Amino acid sequence: MTELSRTKHTTLSLQAMRERKESIVMVTAYDATQAAHAEAAGVDVILVGDSLGMVVLGYDTTIPVTINDMLHHAKAVRRGAKNTMVLVDMPFASYHQSVADTVRNASKIMQEAYADGLKLEGGSEILPHVQALVQAGIPICGHLGLTPQSVLQFGGFRVQAKEMDAAQKLLDDALQLQQAGAFMVVLECIPSALGALVTESLDIPTIGIGAGENCSGQVLVYHDVLGLGMHHRRPKFVKKYATLGDSAISALTKYKDEVKRREFPNPDYRYDIAADAISKLSNRAGKGENL
């Protein structure tokens, strides 16, 4: 069975992977090409993250990202990866009002983007929303630790739950999310020992991003894996597996230089027409005849 014809993962198959201690591989992607690359590589899950606000749209945080932004990119990802499980972030303020509004917003994303599940940031404060979405039949992945939608409260992007009280709250929140029906939890930017403890304490998979090697799986952003980002400061947890950004700049610079020198396009990159046809057209143009 080729990767392109494989069976798409479900919440049950991810749970089975956790039980047999097979690492779950997740990649965050934002368009059809990136999704197709991830599917061809055989990743288990694609996340359409609201990090697109920073990585793709140029914002300083994820807060300006709207439901329409998420829908636009999630639809593209689904078109590019029809055989891979796709999770979609619910963006800032889309699940913090009434539970009815949350269900309405979540249903819109699920129906229009053909999503396989949604991801929500937060713990005890969003439990009623998680419970309502699960009851509505929507698979929910939690997200604890560094939750980018709360970055203004945190005072910046920094490691979370380093102190006892904060670590205890994170563990409690993870257990409560599981109790509320979440099928998986992302743990971002926390001490590795805490990531291991939470993973051991839960019965559902954990996905780490800067949470150590003992989580049930790992997630990184497509651009970070390939070295495509233009960030001046790369998080400690990011490993670059390529430096395509440098290659892209080099290629674009060479293209610019060849155009400036009129070396491109050369005869290898042009289309031809019969010489007599051009001669006739030229004569007509010289006489002012209609072409």
114 φψ region: left (φ > 0), alpha (ψ -120 to 50), beta (else): left
Active site residue 188: yes
Closest by alpha carbon to 208, among 192, 226, 224? Answer: 192
- CA 245 from chain centre, in angstroms, equals 18
Secondary structure (3-state) at 208 = strand
Residue with tokens 């030229």: 282
Longest Cα separation, the chain? 89
Candidates 164, 218, 162; CA nearest to 187 is 218
Q: How far is CA 149 from the centre of its chain?
A: 15
155 Cβ partners below 8 Å, 6+ apart?
A: none
Q: Nearest to residue 87, comparing CAs of 46, 130, 51?
A: 46
User: Which one from 188, 213, 258, 289 is the annotated catalytic residue?
Assistant: 188
User: Encoding tokens for residue 291?
Assistant: 């072409």
Catalytic residues: 188
